[in-house]
Chain A
Amino acid sequence: MKVLKYLLVGFIFGIVLTKTEAVSWYRIYEMFRFQSFHMYGIIMVAILTGTIGIQIMKRYNVKDIKGLPIEIQDKEKGSTRYYVGGLFFGLGWALVGSCPGPIFILLGAGFWSISIVLFGALLGTYIYGVLKDKLPH
């Protein structure tokens, strides 16, 4: 059951992202050309749902599944890493039309060419690991 619940959450995530076409290269291109509201609607409603949910959790001190207090870590302060890292990510996101979630989903769906993207993403992660201490954060 412990493992199964994560498998189920992932399964629903895969279905939702595919059925709403957020895994589609076309939808990402269309978003960056401001030619559709679809992707913006998805992201905004997701954030709205999340914001309301987190506020409720905080206000009513909701406990997690183990009965422990829910603590959501704040992101580290800073600017450079977010702007510059974000810029690199955005360039890649628009080019291959998929962020890390969809890369895995599309591979599972049988789009073998995505394996090149996944290999690149692992390589990019490795490059960051090597250069980490030399990069401004």
Chain B
Amino acid sequence: MLPIFAAKLKNMNFITQTWPWYLSGFLIGSIMLILIYFGKSFGMSSNLRSLCSMSGLGKRVGFFNFDWKAQRWNLVVVVGAMIGGFVAVNYMSDPSNVSINPATIEQLAKLGIDAPDGKLLPNALFGPDVFSSPKSILILLIGGVLVGFGARYAGGCTSGHAISGLSNLQIPSLKAVVGFFVGGLIMAYLLFPLIF
């Protein structure tokens, strides 16, 4: 298999084309290993706790009363990721991107959600009109609350549990990932038709 992947990568345009799963999977795993080599760990949601603590919530809620300054390195990773996102979206994107399954596009059309056509996010949920639609604001807000609450309750998110935890063969992380998927399937199959 590896020679096939290598041949494909050789002929790829890294600026415009979508990066294949075997390349990005390898790079994400490597990023986690590099952070371990730096004496740290790979986890994005803990930054949310640091941000809460930075804004002074530690005085009122014990959970946020911790030394967030020891986590500054992770906030620097976040700043780097934001710059990376800016560069990739503004200078490395192409209308051919986000070519998802046509069956998915058809399903989304039935829910009233626009096709990607090179966009990363649907306008129906994230377009400029959302700020004037109470329903859209509520969807994004509730989704965010679920992500933040769930990540802290479970003690980690995709990076901390699915990638770091499973790579270190942690049973608690496997339980969390099972929870992630059950929740995701309930949302995608049962709740989406009710919400949209």
Contacts and interface: CB of A to CB of B under 8 A. Distances in A.
Contacts, number: 505
B20 to A, nearest CB: 8
Contact of B81 (A14, A43, A54): A14
B84 A14 contact: yes
B51 A86 contact: no
Given A46-B29, A89-B180, A125-B49, A77 B130 contact: no
A13 B98 CA distance: 18
A88 B24 contact: no
Contact of A15 (B20, B25, B92, B155): B92
B157 to A, nearest CB: 5
A38 B173 CA distance: 22
Question: B-side binding surface: helix, strand, loop or mixed?
Answer: helix
Contacts of A3: 73, 76
Q: Which of B79, B80, B83, B166 has the most chain A CB within a 10 Å cutoff?
A: B80
Interface in B81-100: 81-90, 92, 97-98, 100
A19 B147 contact: no
A116 B140 contact: yes
Given A54-B33, A64-B39, A46 B187 contact: no
B36 A124 contact: no
Interface of A: 3, 5-33, 35-51, 53-54, 57, 62, 64-66, 68, 70, 72-79, 81-101, 103-111, 113-114, 116-130, 132, 135
Interface of B: 14, 18-39, 41, 44-45, 47-49, 51-52, 57, 61-64, 73-74, 76-90, 92, 97-98, 100-101, 103-104, 107-108, 116, 120-122, 125-128, 130-131, 136-137, 139-159, 161-173, 175-189, 191, 195
30 contacts: A6-B73, A7-B79, A10-B82, A12-B31, A14-B82, A15-B84, A17-B81, A19-B18, A25-B126, A27-B100, A42-B21, A45-B24, A47-B163, A65-B37, A70-B36, A83-B176, A85-B179, A86-B175, A89-B146, A94-B185, A97-B121, A99-B44, A99-B147, A104-B82, A104-B85, A106-B120, A116-B144, A121-B151, A122-B51, A124-B144
